Amino acid sequence: MKTVLAPIDFSDVSDQVVAAAVELACGVEGRLVLLHVTLPQPRLGGDAALAESGAEFASLAEGDAHRRLHQLQEELRARGVAAHAVLRTGPPGECITHQAERLAADYIVMGSHGHTAFYDLIVGSTTTRVLQEARCRVMVVTPGCRSRRHRSGS
């Protein structure tokens, strides 16, 4: 069975990513794995109260992500899609490529926020990292754009 990995961040492009991933998974009679990556909690040295409130915020954010991810999984299953949800914490690009390898994913369908090349050069881009490191086919969905960029895996 083919595996389609769809990393989502619940941004505006996530609905388009899910739609494209569902279409692909159904087209190859495969399963869809929804992945959401939360960032690790930053270390706030010195102030215990600040560190505690940061941990509380991170816990609430992770709980909200878990709820939304599993709600989406159940909506897709109700439509007959073989969907599974995975929540990970860490650097997004690293978590996405690691999860793709772990699942032996055949495809990754992910969004790009459409930053400029200069922004990506200075700040970096999760999409660019995945395109460079993934060993499977990658489909990039951009906001409001119907065309998709593909890159075959190595």
pLDDT band at 12 (very low <50, low <70, confident <90, very high): confident
Give me the architecture of the 3-151 domain, per CATH: 3-Layer(aba) Sandwich (3.40)
Rounded Cα–Cα distance for residues 97 and 48 (Å): 34
Q: What is the per-residue pLDDT across 58-83, written as a single tens digit (0 to 9) for each?
A: 667 788 999 999 999 999 999 999 99
Strand partners, 4: 32, 107
How would you classify the pairing of strands 107-111 and 137-141? parallel
| Strand stretches in the chain, DSSP E | 3-7, 31-38, 83-89, 107-111, 137-141, 148-151
What are the extents of the domains in the chain?
A: 3-151
Considering the chain, what percentage of its residues have pLDDT values greater than 70? 75
**pLDDT of 96:** 97
**pLDDT of 88 strictly over 60:** yes
Per 3-state DSSP, the chain is made up of helix, strand and coil in percentages (nearest 5) of 45, 20, 30
**Regarding predicted confidence, which is higher, 116 or 98?**
98
What's the pTM value of the predicted model, to 2 decimals? Answer: 0.82
**pLDDT of 9:** 93
Exposed / middle / buried, residue 105 (Cβ in 10 Å: 0-12, 13-18, 19+): buried
